[in-house]
Structure 1
Amino acid sequence: MDTKESENSKKDFSSLEIDEKYCEKLSSHGITEPSSVQSQAIPEIIKGTSLLFQSETGTGKTLAYLLPLLQNVESCDNTKKEVKIVIISPTIELASQIKSQVQMVTDSKAALLVGGAPIKRQVETLKEKPLIVIGGPARLLELFHLKKLRLDGAAAVVLDEVDRLLAKEMQEDTLELISALKKDIQLIAASATITQSTQKTLQATRIKQNGTTESDLKTLFLPPEDVLRKRITHLALYSETRDKIDTLRSLLNAEKPQKALIFTSKIDQVANIVVKLKFKNIECYALTAKTDKVERKATIDKFRSGKIKILVTSDLAARGLDIPDISHVIQMDMPSDDDFFIHRAGRTARMGKTGVNIVIGDGYEMRKYAAIEKKLKITVYPRMLYKGKLIDPNEVNKENSSQSQ
């Protein structure tokens, strides 16, 4: 067989030994070709390997572990109805998104067990004998201690965004939860960034849990796909601080984004931006860490489905958001942490698509943007609003020059 033909024939999920029923579900959602992380992680997880893997944001990590784990447990005799897969998430939004992906590929019952929601209702949900439970470490542990969540039949545990789960504020609950699971359970951990500290902690936990001298946790670190440089167009739009919301309004009218996520570091500014945009007849919604849990979920679901096209948010509220088809990310300021800049920009250009990241900044913020441009080796293009369009300033200079001649 010709090498190119051989490579092309591998570009589907069935070549990774994923059952046809899952392939059909994926295909119905327009997902036909596995990403790099899926191609490499799925065969390992199907074999039962415990795996720690790192891949850039937006590369399909959730399906990389969901598909093989679901296939493994659903192909077994499940006459005894019990929890088989435990997925631990650091945020409510991520947990909710994982559940949505589960429901996309299987009809098996999945329970969302997160803090901030009535625990009595979650106890009732557990009586329905879900195959998969998804939630934060604190709530999962609470239900376990109350003996409402039985974990003795679990075949696999997943730590999604493992770096955050092993950060100081969540580490104790996460590790206690893992220790409550049976010896040699299949452990999957994934994140866009994995520190040496995270690796050491997980390897030590695995050795202690299995009572061995060496860890069986395999690591998989995928080379960066350079999403930030190759698939995202970075633009800079100058504006004095007092004029930023007016500049944003003009930008939205000029670009007419398919779906835009607007970031501000100042939580109190979220509502202010929304009010002023709505006053100018631009339909938009707010999302902050203070937003009511039910309202947050409803807002995210509407944004995901496309019923909401413009969402204004803070960094913490949007952490881990995986929303398809975000065409524009607009940053109303430069975050203090470079990782937040990467996180913000990475909400667009997901799963092989392209996107636009625009910073609206004053002189100080433009200098910070220039510093990040150099550090991250991205190219930032200056833009200005002119006659209702977002254009290159050089074009305006050329036009003015030709008119003066």
Structure 2
Amino acid sequence: MLLRPVRRFTSPLRLLSVVRSTATVSASSQSQQPPSRHHPQPEFPQLIPSSVQTGSYHPIAPDDSHKRKEDDESFDSVATKLSPETMKAITVSPHKHTKMSAVQSAIFNLLPGLSDAQSNDRKDLFVKSKTGTGKTMAFLVPAIEARLMAIQNASDSASGSDKEKFKAGKLYANSTVGAVIISPTRELATQIANEAIKLCTHHKGFQVRLFVGGANKGKQLSEFKNGRGDIIVTTPGRMNDVLQTSPMVKSALNTSPTLILDEADTLLEMGFKDELNAIIEHLPGHPTRQSVLLSATLSEGIRKVAKSILKPNHLYIDTVPEGESNSHAKIPQFYSALSSPGHQLPHLLRLISHDQLTNPKSKIMIFCPTTKMTMLYSTIFRALSKSLPKKANIFEIHSKRTMEQRSRASEHFRRDKSDSSVLVTSDVSARGVDYPNVTRVIQIGVPPSADQYVHRIGRTGRGGSSGRADFVMDYYELPFLTWQLNQHNIADNPAKEFAKQVAQLAESTGNQDVVDKVNNIENELKDLISQVDELAVRETFASLLGYYLPKAPVMRTTKGVVVEGLKSWTTEAMGLPRPPYISDTFLLKMGLTDNRSKRFGQKDRYSGDAAKEYFSVADKRSGKDQGLRYNLDGRQTYRGSDKGKLRSEWDKRGLYGYRGQGAPPPSERNKPEMDADEYRSAPYGREHLSPEYIGASNRPRVRSRTDFDYGGKGRSGGIKKPTDRRSYMTSAHPTRAVYAHDEERQAEAEVQARKQRAQKIAESPRTASHYELSNKLARRRRTANKEFHARKVLIQDAMHQ
């Protein structure tokens, strides 16, 4: 069978809905555990009224009213500050929490003043907190309480009977919007919406709306129009789109008193600054609006955003104890710098096997640098799942999957209770999304940034559980570790020693079947690689080029080294017979040039009399030597032929060019007056051409895939001119630069030509009438011809009879 992950997006799992505004919601709660108590510093939040300066924040110890005492850690200590319905949702059903985390205690102790809807002096918050500490509940509860208080105030301010007051409160709830929560990804937005609905379980009529891409926008708008918008959870892209197309949402958003930016650092990293500014323009300004900004880091960009969004007297809450980093330093971290790309997949399979042998309930997240690599590796792991010590359930999440598929995979991985499960994902799952009991995080290749490395390993060790992080890289990626991650305590884990360790661990189980599976990992992988779709490998190679080349300076290496390393990956790891071809034009656009000729440093092709004879032929070609073209690999490509025995090396090997032993130069090949006899008698070895090529140069030839399959045998039909191959590879897009889809491009060109002709006709009434008349006459001629031939056939039949 052939593995074709590019075209498969199938899953046997049933779709689970995500939010009540679009479907019935069912999601697991975050695991809320109190922080560890062993740190020498008192573990209470640091609160200061502060104006954001261009320098660093310097939080000081808060006054005694904000300190967390031993008897104030339970939710019972804030029961009087929360509504009974919210308290019931937290401590009874659907949640059953008893202890507060540091960030929850810091924020809940500011209630009810933080949620006073009648006050125009509500404090803005800047919260710095680690992932997995329950900050989602920490910012949702004040938003819910503020909405309840605003509805109650609207009801109390109405005059008349209780019924009239109830109607006034209901009218306010239906005509205004509560909190607007902006999240960087739809997975995280879905999780926040799920958590909000759980907290509103006992609040009658309370509704949560989710606006994210990948779902039906019309349905989302219809449900928003017919219901309430107590809590709106959205992504920047979808909300910006909705504001541009829906005046209803635009006017409703102007009534929202609360803005919450979750994972603000990720919002900036993903380039959502303009979208955020556009959304904020439609919200009320200060002092009416209360803003809450949450971030795991405190970069210069975050400080600028805080300065533009938050009030000058905002509160800064830092729940990360002094001396403890945001990278979860307690999680064991290891790196493996592989000497060859061919060791990558075997090492990954051994990491999975090691986790299965050391954890009764293995739950692994594997981060890939690109979507194409996620698709390819998830297919490989799924095919080899039975060859592991424990059969693993493989899930995949990436941007090419639909919203339904991503939600389904996320939900089922979260709820998976099997002995082994693996989620292969891109960075859409790197931040905020909570997957409980993840035992190991594996990162393949360098992350987008050092901060993203921290966010990825934050998926394990959540809620006080143990975990492990592994960083797998090729040899040319090692400088990134020493330069970007030198502040992290990452231990070396050599692949060879680790292979011995896994083998010993398998033997210690006493199960011969497990031992055989571990020992046969490379053999099973080798058999599978031979079946992998070659096109999928090339597409992955193209995506990796686009990912790694801009990162060469950060990796402290050159782009040429990156290109050669990725080519080695295609041959050594994925089994291609030769690395993919990369056009000179693409390399030039990516900055890969040495300003030297392609002949620099190479051995002279001819010398002596052979050189004189050869270059005399070159002189006849207007001084252009069509045979001396070299690409980045140093392989000579076909650009014409030589005289007699001095044929190009490509032509000798029967790779590019004609099948015969020689080929006509471009100046002779394209002459329309040459016929078959002239081709047979012409010089330059044309007498060796096979019959199907005689006279073929005067007609266009259809390109085949072998033209771009990097040295595949056979004719190069389709290169009508020497510049065709080079001019064809003009797109800077990596995929277009590596391989070509001629049929698609030709079809697109024909469609565009038809559209242009139709537009030209439509713009010129005179031309349109001319075309209409011509078509009418042509139809008449065709009808007359058909009738004439029909009569002729009848006459002939009658004569024969």
TM-score (normalised: structure 1):
0.83
Change (3 A) 1:260 1:358: same
Give how far 1:301 is off.
1.4
Provide the C-alpha distance between the structure 2 equivalents of 1:269 and 1:390, rounded to a whole number of angstroms: 31
SS in 1 for 2:99: coil
Partners of 1:329 and 1:348 within 8 A in 2: yes
Change (3 A) 1:223 1:285: closer
Is residue 56 from structure 1 mapped to residue 130 from structure 2 by the alignment?
Answer: yes
Is residue 220 from structure 1 mapped to residue 317 from structure 2 by the alignment?
Answer: yes
Structure 2 partner of 1:154: 256
Is residue 279 from structure 1 mapped to residue 383 from structure 2 by the alignment?
Answer: yes
SS in 2 for 1:275: helix
Change (3 A) 1:196 1:362: closer
Per-residue CA deviations over 1:269-307 (Å, capped at 9, x if unaligned) read 222222222222243122122222221111111112226
Give how far 1:133 is off.
0.7
Alignment of 1:90-239 (within 5 A): 90-107=184-201, 108-126=206-224, 127-145=226-244, 146-149=246-249, 150-166=252-268, 169-183=271-285, 184-206=288-310, 215-224=312-321, 225-226=324-325, 228-237=327-336, 239=338
Higher mean alpha-carbon deviation, 60-69 vs 241-250, is at 241-250
Partners of 1:111 and 1:134 within 8 A in 2: yes
One-letter amino acid of the counterpart of residue 247, structure 2: K
The count of corresponding residues between Structure 1 and Structure 2 is 380
Provide the C-alpha distance between the structure 2 equivalents of 1:231 and 1:296, rounded to a whole number of angstroms: 31
Partners of 1:23 and 1:32 within 8 A in 2: no
Give how far 1:266 is off.
3.7
Change (3 A) 1:377 1:206: same
Structure 2 partner of 1:345: 457
- The structure richer in strand per residue is 1
Provide the C-alpha distance between the structure 2 equivalents of 1:232 and 1:37, rounded to a whole number of angstroms: 21
Provide the C-alpha distance between the structure 2 equivalents of 1:50 and 1:13, rounded to a whole number of angstroms: 23
Provide the C-alpha distance between the structure 2 equivalents of 1:229 and 1:116, rounded to a whole number of angstroms: 33
Per-residue CA deviations over 1:282-339 (Å, capped at 9, x if unaligned) read 4312212222222111111111222682110123454443322211101233335322
Give how far 1:192 is off.
0.8
| Relative contact order, higher structure (CA 8 A, sep 6+) | 1
Partners of 1:42 and 1:65 within 8 A in 2: no
SS in 1 for 2:291: strand
Provide the C-alpha distance between the structure 1 equivalents of 2:145 and 2:466, rounded to a whole number of angstroms: 31
Residue ranges of structure 2 left out of the alignment (5+ in a row) = 1-41, 43-67, 115-122, 153-168, 387-391, 506-801
Partners of 1:152 and 1:182 within 8 A in 2: yes
Give how far 1:380 is off.
5.6
Provide the C-alpha distance between the structure 1 equivalents of 2:111 and 2:262, rounded to a whole number of angstroms: 15
Change (3 A) 1:337 1:137: closer
SS in 2 for 1:231: coil
Percent identity of the aligned residues? Answer: 25
Alignment of 1:244-323 (within 5 A): 244-256=344-356, 258-280=362-384, 281=386, 282-306=392-416, 309-316=421-428, 318-323=430-435
Structure 2 partner of 1:8: 70
Provide the C-alpha distance between the structure 1 equivalents of 2:504 and 2:407, rounded to a whole number of angstroms: 33
Provide the C-alpha distance between the structure 1 equivalents of 2:110 and 2:129, rounded to a whole number of angstroms: 15
Provide the C-alpha distance between the structure 2 equivalents of 1:315 and 1:226, rounded to a whole number of angstroms: 22
Give how far 1:227 is off.
5.6
Provide the C-alpha distance between the structure 1 equivalents of 2:192 and 2:504, rounded to a whole number of angstroms: 36
Provide the C-alpha distance between the structure 2 equivalents of 1:314 and 1:202, rounded to a whole number of angstroms: 29
Question: Out of 89, 108, 118, which is 1:25 matched to?
Answer: 89
Change (3 A) 1:277 1:196: closer
Provide the C-alpha distance between the structure 2 equivalents of 1:137 and 1:311, rounded to a whole number of angstroms: 26
Per-residue CA deviations over 1:110-151 (Å, capped at 9, x if unaligned) read 111013322211111202213111102343244345223212
One-letter amino acid of the counterpart of residue 98, structure 2: T
Larger Rg, first or second structure (1 or 2): 2
Partners of 2:441 and 2:459 within 8 A in 1: yes
Give how far 1:389 is off.
5.3
Structure 1 partner of 2:755: none
TM-score (normalised: structure 2):
0.44
Question: Out of 486, 498, 515, which is 1:384 matched to?
Answer: 498
Provide the C-alpha distance between the structure 2 equivalents of 1:325 and 1:20, rounded to a whole number of angstroms: 31
Change (3 A) 1:23 1:244: farther
SS in 1 for 2:104: helix
Change (3 A) 1:19 1:354: farther
Give how far 1:355 is off.
1.2
Change (3 A) 1:336 1:185: closer
Alignment of 1:67-82 (within 5 A): 67-75=141-149, 76-77=151-152, 78-79=169-170, 80-81=172-173, 82=176
One-letter amino acid of the counterpart of residue 72, structure 2: K
Change (3 A) 1:326 1:26: farther
Give how far 1:8 is off.
2.6
Partners of 1:84 and 1:132 within 8 A in 2: yes
One-letter amino acid of the counterpart of residue 343, structure 2: D
Partners of 1:54 and 1:192 within 8 A in 2: yes
Is residue 43 from structure 1 mapped to residue 109 from structure 2 by the alignment?
Answer: yes
One-letter amino acid of the counterpart of residue 254, structure 1: H
Higher mean alpha-carbon deviation, 156-165 vs 13-22, is at 13-22
Provide the C-alpha distance between the structure 2 equivalents of 1:265 and 1:168, rounded to a whole number of angstroms: 15
Provide the C-alpha distance between the structure 2 equivalents of 1:142 and 1:387, rounded to a whole number of angstroms: 53
Residue ranges of structure 1 left out of the alignment (5+ in a row) = 208-214, 392-405
